[in-house]
Structure 1
Amino acid sequence: MGQRTQAAAGCLVALAGLGAGLAVWAGRARGRVHRFEQGPDWRVFVVELPLCVVGGVGAGALAGALLHRLFRARRAAPPGP
């Protein structure tokens, strides 16, 4: 795999992690932003959104690094008989 392909794959994995983090946040934040007879809960935006986004990107980057190691180890292994 070429260097450009690896860079593009890394960016795509990070974007997939970002999307997963946003999806998790959206599922958890539903109904908690505006509660009945209360003002908005700003912790949902200030604390939980950045944590889910950073966690998603981190998980995506970790998954990409593990896949890269797995494929590199398979390529370096000697062929069987």
Structure 2
Amino acid sequence: MPERLTSIGLVELNSIAIGIQTGDAMLKAAFVNLLRASTICPGKYIVLVYGSVDAVRASVKAGRECAGENVIDHLIIPNIHP
């Protein structure tokens, strides 16, 4: 587990291939770290990142734009209590 989590962002997708592409776009869009990127059931994929609040928001926004209609849901949890 990372030493310090400030914010967590998650994007859930309905395509594994698009999920891999989205994860790449999210990591390149902002200074965030990858917490998890994997399938969660057949045909679904999640990308979970952490970092500063602004970076996570920018990363999730980039992921949503990259994935388009393949996004099932997204979530940002800012200012996590340690």
Q: TM-score, normalised by structure 2?
A: 0.34
* Greater radius of gyration (CA): 1
Which one has a larger percent strand, Structure 1 or Structure 2?
2
